[in-house]
Chain A
């Protein structure tokens, strides 16, 4: 399916009965605290500009209260924006009529929820085909498509179980199957895995990555977990107090955190799994022979390969196999340990 990216432009959300009245003041620099104190309105999102690439996973990361769940609800307009645009395939979602929006939600988006939000009175299969029921697809057709996706998420044999009979991880598989059966281009995942055990979470991340490699949907994934963000995200936007404080690839955020807040976050990350060989290699200075690693290999797996092969030096090659640089174990280790300067600003800066 041809994917389209999502462009979020100048998006503001002010919660309260007369949010629109304060938009100019906020644009002119009224702070969140002042708005709340003087006018009793809550600034949810402030001047959000994110371009979410087509066919990729964009992760929006932030702690609770940062506005990430508010942001994802603007993409299918479960929350009305106060100001700004969300553009998909040339259409401004914020300007859609009620019917247009309903059609957009039916055919273009599918959503997975933190607390699963399955219908307790419907079986797994009936839950899976919910989106198709809404579209008016006949049960014969929808059941066929539903069964296919139930199998893909690994729930074969549970079609006639009720959600209450399943564990959390299995319920979220149903949530994922329900979203995928909709066959929509945009997949919105609102803290989809936050309620799951760590092991099951990693498992579900793999399910998503495997499916995404094949489906190439435009995925928006919300999380408060940086490890999850780095594992899934082609692009990551970090949100704090309703503002984007940094966006870029996982490597960019880990290597060049924009401020102390992100630095504190990044400190705990396993850098070896994020930084790629191409990022820390030296230019090619000698003969391009010996062991080879791809430039997109993470340092951790490059180090493992090199140790297994008993080599301390490897040639880095690009996607076509042409040598582009060299990497030695020393460079890998020094990139993997956290640089000293990032140790200094502690969370005390908060």
Chain B
């Protein structure tokens, strides 16, 4: 029965095709030879360009390499007790919540117990660096976007492309330009994680109450004074949401970036996929989720704490 159906379908197709000119029946693609040549020319040109500027590229990304290596060393070489204590202290200082702090301790101890402490430290290091760079790049761009509509119209499509492009796809140019390794991985992570930072900074500033801005103008604020006294403080909750998103996206991308040579939990996950190590993959997944929750809860609690003044509403 299925066979017969298949046959009739094919027969129909052939029947309709015989009535149509070939041009409308099978897609008129360029010849394979032509495409091959074109690809070759573009690839060669691109690679040639990269080869020519390899010195420049290396010098530019060198500081990233140093920073990343340094932080990785600090994280992995320090005694675990110290790292754990410092982590819990930071979490406590940002969230002022005993629950989140204890949760952090428990989560990290579990990670240590299942033998993933070192890999987790490597992942933490690259996530930290990526987040810091994303904030450093994202906030100024967001401010620029908020100040001019033209800037916003120019940058928005770029962000749209960055956010819709599957992360695997832009690993390709990153690898071609920067090669394989930690730093290319870091750059890919930053590219993936920076759009929400930019967007939410822009949005936060644009949402600031017009009347408060008018008051700032009426008292003779310069544009800089307006930015630092009014716009940034009032945009802070939205900016904090952006930082939170950026951290989460960094963590997600660190796993994908293991394909271009980033170590840590992502590399383990990749191994687990390749070798069908179910339990190993699950343990790494747990470690990633644990640090994601720690980052998320701590940064959200911090954001909320910054907004204390808006909580107590007159009754």
Contact = CB atoms under 8 A, between A and B. Distances in A.
A78 B211 CA distance: 11
A76 interface: yes
Contact of B310 (A104, A115, A120, A133): A120
Given A103-B220, A120-B234, A133-B229, A166 B309 contact: no
Interface string A292-327: 000000000000000000000000000000000000
Interface string B20-34: 000000000000000
Q: Is the interface of A mostly helix, strand, loop or mixed?
A: mixed
Which of A104, A134, A166 has the most chain B CB atoms inside 10 A of its CB?
A134
Interface string A119-137: 1110000000011011100
A106 B313 contact: no
Nearest to A127: B215
Interface string B239-259: 000000000000000000000
A121 B214 contact: no
A165 B314 contact: yes
Contacts of A182: 219
A105 B218 contact: yes
**For the side of the interface on A, what is the size category?**
20 to 34
A120 B225 CA distance: 16
Contact of A113 (B215, B309, B310): B215
Given A166-B314, A167-B314, A121 B218 contact: no
A165 B215 contact: no
A117 interface: yes
B212 A117 contact: yes
A338 to B, nearest CB: 39
Contacts of B310: 120-121, 162, 164
A119 B230 contact: yes
19 contacts: A78-B214, A78-B218, A109-B218, A111-B219, A117-B209, A117-B212, A119-B212, A119-B230, A119-B234, A120-B212, A121-B236, A131-B219, A134-B219, A134-B220, A134-B221, A162-B312, A165-B313, A166-B314, A182-B219
**For the side of the interface on B, what is the size category?**
20 to 34
A117 B218 CA distance: 11
A117 B214 contact: yes
Interface string B192-221: 000000000000000001011011111111
A110 interface: yes
B219 A164 contact: no
B285 interface: no
Nearest to B221: A134
Contacts of B312: 162, 164-165
B226 to A, nearest CB: 9
A76 B218 CA distance: 7
Interface of A: 76, 78, 102-107, 109-111, 113, 115, 117-121, 130-131, 133-135, 162, 164-167, 182, 188
Nearest to A114: B211
Nearest to B308: A162
Contacts of A109: 218
B233 interface: yes
Nearest to B306: A121
Interface of B: 209, 211-212, 214-222, 225, 229-230, 233-234, 236, 309-314
Nearest to A109: B218
Which of B218, B234, B236, B314 has the most chain A CB atoms inside 10 A of its CB?
B218
Which of B211, B220, B222, B229 has the most chain A CB atoms inside 10 A of its CB?
B220
B225 A134 contact: yes
B307 to A, nearest CB: 8
A14 B13 CA distance: 68
Contacts of B233: 119, 121
Contacts of B220: 102-107, 131, 134-135
A113 B222 contact: no
A106 B225 CA distance: 13
Contacts of A119: 212, 215, 229-230, 233-234
Nearest to A104: B220
Contacts of A164: 309-314
B9 to A, nearest CB: 60
B309 to A, nearest CB: 4
B220 to A, nearest CB: 3
Contact of A102 (B214, B222, B309): B222
Which of B216, B229, B230 has the most chain A CB atoms inside 10 A of its CB?
B229
A71 to B, nearest CB: 15
Given A111-B215, A167-B314, 14 more contacts: A76-B218, A102-B222, A105-B219, A111-B219, A113-B214, A117-B214, A117-B215, A119-B234, A120-B234, A134-B219, A134-B221, A162-B309, A164-B311, A188-B218
A76 B220 CA distance: 10
Nearest to A123: B309
A134 B211 CA distance: 17
